């Protein structure tokens, strides 16, 4: 008898796996229901429910809450259900639910960016966690045919709402996957990194997204900004100081005004750090991110870390692949820019991590035993690795000191007085990419840095040719000894993999790259880059001016990497003080960066010391 049941199970599994999901099939086998769900304060949130017509078994609910619209409105079905890997959930009979968050698109109420979590809500007080609770409570009580188990997932801003779902406390929520989650918009996600404004993303995003929406609508809010050139470097440079961007924005975009009103890491920002609320999490968690995510790489690494520390008994897993922002859902993940990763990493993720995760916790099918604590794709060697903890205990902090001759060494230089210097001119800032673009690229995260190496305002320190593989796994620390001729400056540190002379990809390496003819010979691959606004070197709450000519320590962290510098390659570290227009220009004077004028921008002579008493170094977590 058991063999007959096994045979039947295998046949059903094959039918499910092989089912081709088309729009026509979907409409024949699923229903779409649009409804308004009332929250505890009476505000109604637009919700669309895609449910299987087959009621022979109970179905789990997979919820996605978004500020970007539950398109299409009306009778048409979402293309995501048959045009993306979401079709795998359709094959398994999931009830897919999407919801416009409060104040967005067709939902009532007032939208608040990264609305703070309120741990002590009373009565009709709300936050995003309570909205999720109320929505889930209605769904499990009113949608026919559910097994009353709910999963929540989402990428980027919906990743933030997924985190809030995990904090809601609703017992029906069994599994949550925050993906590229917005976590801390001051320290490392999207619009600030270590106190520096990520100008390109902040302005281009909020000039449209931030426009007020006075009432529910199915119509978007296009940006009203008129660009006089498609060359973004030229546009941002000619626009000038941040105060000029504020003039272009106008006074109706609330979050832009709030952002400028809080230049330091004050209580307003701290309340919007999702990590501070991540206690008492009950659902199983699967945190997902891309190591080359230009927007929320920080959020994935640091949210996992916070949940792990603050909820030691919660099942909390991490997956990080070689992806751009959301690349695991809208690309095959085989390459980024000119760099190849050798396989369809997105399909591997979907089939081995996300789908088994929800299948186990929502349907009781299969196992999660093969999903390790940390599941990380290591670029360079192009291989998935599993760890029982992250950062891995095998990773040893290893010092790489800058030398007077532009080299790197594991020992402090014996030279008594030694420094490298450059003139940082904010009116001629170092571009973040070599090419001319009309929008911020995602490929810059692996771009060739040879163009920067040739500039006089970028200094490079390069190690010897590696005689064996060098694998880095974890958070990077920059410990710089610097002096300025002015009272402030930024410090951009870049970790670079220098490919060997004569290097070419052979035809067996899967991943087409942006151009098969790009010269990979001596390619300088950006592995990780990060900015630190110097005034925050001692405190993000209380900025301090530099004393011109006086040596000061500038220490900060770069987001984690998982990369192997292969034998025959070289490790390079680059230092510069502008990265434009990715990062706003520091006036290089201790003035209010958000309200200064064009005349406040001045040149600064930057010195990076690397001698016996003032050693500068990068600390890399080296796998032993």
The residue-averaged pLDDT of 240-265 equals 96
Beta-sheet pairing, 192-193 with 339-340:
unpaired
pLDDT at 425 over 60: yes
pLDDT for residue 19? 84
At the fourth CATH level, the homologous superfamily of domain 193-210+221-270 is alpha-amino acid ester hydrolase ( Helical cap domain) (1.10.3020.10)
Nearest CA among 476, 502, 443 for reference residue 571:
476
- Domains 1-179 and 193-210+221-270 are alike in CATH topology: no
Task: Annotate 374-413 with DSSP letters as a single string.
Answer: EEEEEBTTTEEEEESSSS-TTEEEEEEEE-TTSBEESS--
Q: Could you tell me the two tokens for 127?
A: 């936050």
Q: 481: Cβ–Cβ under 8 A, 6 or more apart, which residues?
A: 551, 552, 553, 554, 608, 609, 610, 614, 615, 616
Residue 496 · residue 530 · CB < 8 Å:
no
Q: Could you tell me the two tokens for 414?
A: 């014996």
**What is the band of 17 on the pLDDT scale with cuts at 50, 70, 90?**
low
Whole-number average pLDDT of the chain: 95
Could you read off the pLDDT of 157-188 as tens digits, one per residue? 999 999 999 999 999 999 999 999 999 999 99
User: Can you give the three-state secondary structure of 174-195, one letter per residue?
Assistant: EEEEEECCCCCCCCCCCCEECC
Q: What are the CA-CA distances from residue 153 to residues 45, 158, 260, 552 (Å)?
A: 18, 7, 31, 44
Residue 112 · residue 118 · CB < 8 Å:
no
Paired residues of 424 in beta bridges: 604
Let me know the angle formed at the C-alpha of 38 by 33 and 40, rounded to the nearest 5 degrees. Answer: 155
C-alpha span between 464 and 409 (Å, rounded): 9
Paired residues of 66 in beta bridges: 100
pLDDT at 1 over 70: no
Paired residues of 401 in beta bridges: 409, 617
| Neighbouring C-beta atoms of residue 222, cutoff 10 Å | 9
Beta-sheet pairing, 284-290 with 316-321:
parallel
Q: Does domain 395-623 have CATH number 1.20.1280.260?
A: no
Nearest CA among 224, 227, 231 for reference residue 249:
224
**Residue 266, preceding bond cis, omega within 30 degrees?**
no
DSSP annotation of 534: G
Burial of 325 (0-12, 13-18, 19+ CB in 10 A): buried
Phi, psi of 398 (to 5 degrees): -130, 130
Look-up of token digits 């904090």: 167
Phi, psi of 507 (to 5 degrees): -70, -10
Residue 377 · residue 562 · CB < 8 Å:
yes
pLDDT for residue 7? 41
Domain boundaries, the chain: 1-179, 193-210+221-270, 395-623
pLDDT at 6 over 70: no
pLDDT at 514 over 80: no
H or E stretch at 246:
helix 242-249
Look-up of token digits 């089939």: 351
Q: What are the CA-CA distances from residue 564 to residues 217, 247, 259, 571, 622 (Å)?
A: 49, 46, 38, 10, 10
C-alpha span between 576 and 574 (Å, rounded): 7
Could you read off the pLDDT of 211-224 as tens digits, one per residue? 999 999 999 888 88
Q: How many residues appear in the chain?
A: 624
Could you read off the pLDDT of 26-83 as tens digits, one per residue? 999 999 999 999 999 999 999 999 999 999 999 999 999 999 999 999 999 999 999 9
* End-to-end Cα spacing for the chain: 52
pLDDT at 13 over 70: no
Q: What are the CA-CA distances from residue 66 to residues 125, 154, 204, 293 (Å)?
A: 21, 8, 19, 20
The residue-averaged pLDDT of 233-251 equals 97
Q: Does domain 1-179 have CATH number 3.40.50.1820?
A: yes
Buried b / exposed e over 383-394, threshold 16 CB at 10 Å, is ebbebeebbbee
């Amino acid at each position: 008898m058991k063999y007959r049941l096994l045979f039947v199970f295998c046949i059903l599994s094959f039918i499910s796996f092989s089912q081709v999901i088309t729009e026509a099939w979907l409409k024949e086998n699923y229903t779409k229901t649009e409804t308004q769900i009332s929250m505890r304060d009476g505000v109604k949130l637009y919700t669309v429910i895609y449910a299987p017509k087959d009621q022979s078994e109970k179905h789990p609910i997979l919820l996605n809450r978004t500020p970007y619209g539950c398109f299409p409105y009306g009778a048409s079905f979402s293309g995501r259900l048959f045009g993306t890997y979401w079709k795998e959930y359709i094959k398994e009979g999931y009830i897919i639910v999407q919801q416009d968050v409060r104040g967005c698109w067709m939902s009532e109420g007032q939208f608040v960016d990264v609305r703070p979590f309120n741990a002590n809500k009373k009565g009709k007080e709300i936050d995003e966690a309570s909205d999720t609770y109320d929505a889930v409570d209605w769904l499990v009580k009113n949608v026919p045919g559910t097994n009353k188990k709910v999963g929540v997932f989402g990428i980027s801003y919906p990743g933030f709402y997924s985190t809030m779902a995990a904090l809601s406390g609703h017992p029906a929520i069994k599994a949550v996957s925050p993906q590229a989650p917005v976590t801390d918009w001051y320290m490392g996600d999207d619009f600030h990194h270590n106190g520096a404004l990520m100008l390109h993303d902040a302005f281009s995003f909020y000039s449209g997204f931030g426009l007020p929406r006075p009432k529910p609508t199915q119509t978007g809010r296009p940006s009203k900004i008129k660009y006089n050139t498609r060359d973004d470097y030229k546009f941002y440079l000619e626009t000038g100081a941040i105060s000029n961007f504020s003039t272009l924005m106008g006074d109706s975009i609330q979050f832009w005004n709030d952002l400028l009103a809080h230049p330091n890491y004050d209580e307003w920002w701290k309340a919007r750090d999702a990590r501070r609320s991540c206690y008492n999490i009950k659902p199983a968690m699967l945190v997902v991110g891309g190591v080359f995510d230009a927007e929320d790489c920080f959020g994935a690494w640091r949210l996992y870390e916070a949940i792990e520390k603050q909820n030691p008994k919660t099942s909390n897993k991490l997956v990080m692949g070689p992806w751009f922002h959301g690349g695991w859902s809208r690309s095959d993940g085989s390459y980024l820019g000119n760099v190849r990763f050798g396989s369809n990493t997105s399909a591997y993720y979907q089939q081995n991590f996300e789908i088994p995760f929800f299948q186990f916790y929502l349907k009781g099918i299969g196992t999660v035993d093969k999903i390790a604590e940390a599941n990380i794709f290591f670029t360079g060697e192009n291989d998935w690795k599993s760890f029982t903890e992250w950062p891995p205990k095998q990773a040893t902090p290893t010092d790489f000191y800058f030398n007077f001759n532009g080299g790197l060494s594991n020992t402090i230089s014996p030279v008594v007085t030694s420094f490298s210097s450059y003139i940082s001119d904010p009116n001629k800032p170092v571009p973040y990419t070599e090419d001319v673009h009309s929008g911020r690229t995602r490929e810059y995260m692996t771009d060739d840095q040879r163009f920067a190496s040739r500039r006089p305002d970028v200094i490079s320190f390069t190690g010897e040719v590696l005689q064996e593989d060098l694998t880095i796994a974890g958070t990077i620390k920059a410990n710089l000894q610097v002096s300025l001729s002015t009272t402030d400056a930024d410090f951009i540190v870049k970790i670079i993999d220098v490919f060997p002379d004569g290097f070419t990809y052979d035809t067996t390496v899967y991943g087409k790259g942006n151009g098969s003819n790009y010269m990979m010979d001596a390619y300088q691959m950006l592995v990780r880059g990060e900015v630190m606004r110097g005034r925050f070197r001692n405190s993000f709450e209380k900025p301090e001016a530099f004393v011109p000519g006086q040596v000061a320590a500038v220490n900060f962290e770069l987001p984690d990497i998982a990369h192997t510098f292969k034998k025959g390659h070289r490790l390079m570290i680059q230092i510069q003080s502008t990265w434009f227009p990715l990062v706003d220009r520091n006036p290089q004077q201790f003035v209010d960066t958000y309200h200064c004028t064009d005349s406040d921008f001045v040149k600064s002579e930057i010195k990076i010391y690397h001698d016996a008493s003032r050693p500068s170094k990068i600390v890399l977590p080296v796998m032993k």
